[in-house]
């Protein structure tokens, strides 16, 4: 019986080492795949700006400006019916 136990432990040890090697390869490939898909860290720290929208009157004067650059939010009641 000692021979069988020794063989079983040897098989289990080899199986564990083999699984550890393949797990390391698979884990490394998974990390490399997701690391390749990550955004550039230098661009993450730069703030994203929404576009500013400027509404002009017929004569070219600025009617309303909103977005990240300036102004407050424009509600529907503030917009003339011709623009709605």
Question: What is the tens place of the pLDDT at every residue in 41-75?
Answer: 777 776 676 777 888 888 888 888 777 765 566 77
Give CA–CA dist 44/65, Å, rounded: 28
Per-residue pLDDT at 19 exceeds 90: yes
Phi, psi of 53 (to 5 degrees): -115, 130
pLDDT for 78 beyond 70:
yes
Tokens representing 41 are 């860290």
Mean pLDDT for the chain?
Answer: 83
pLDDT at 24: 98
Residue 58: both structure tokens together: 């017929």
73 against 78, higher pLDDT: 78
Task: Between 17 and 63, name the one with better pLDDT.
Answer: 17
DSSP-derived secondary structure letter, 54 = E
DSSP 8-state secondary structure symbol assigned to residue 65: E
**Ranges of each domain in the chain:** 2-44, 53-83
Average pLDDT over residues 29-37: 92
């Amino acid at each position: 019986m000692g021979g069988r136990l020794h063989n079983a432990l040897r098989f289990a040890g080899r199986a564990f080492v083999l699984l550890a090697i393949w797990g390391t390869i698979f884990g490394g490939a998974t990390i490399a795949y997701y690391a390749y898909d990550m955004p550039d860290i230098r661009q993450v720290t730069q703030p994203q700006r929404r576009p500013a929208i400027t509404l002009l009157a017929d004569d070219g004067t600025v009617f309303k400006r909103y977005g990240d650059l300036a102004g407050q939010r424009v509600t529907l009641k503030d917009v003339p019916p011709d623009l709605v």
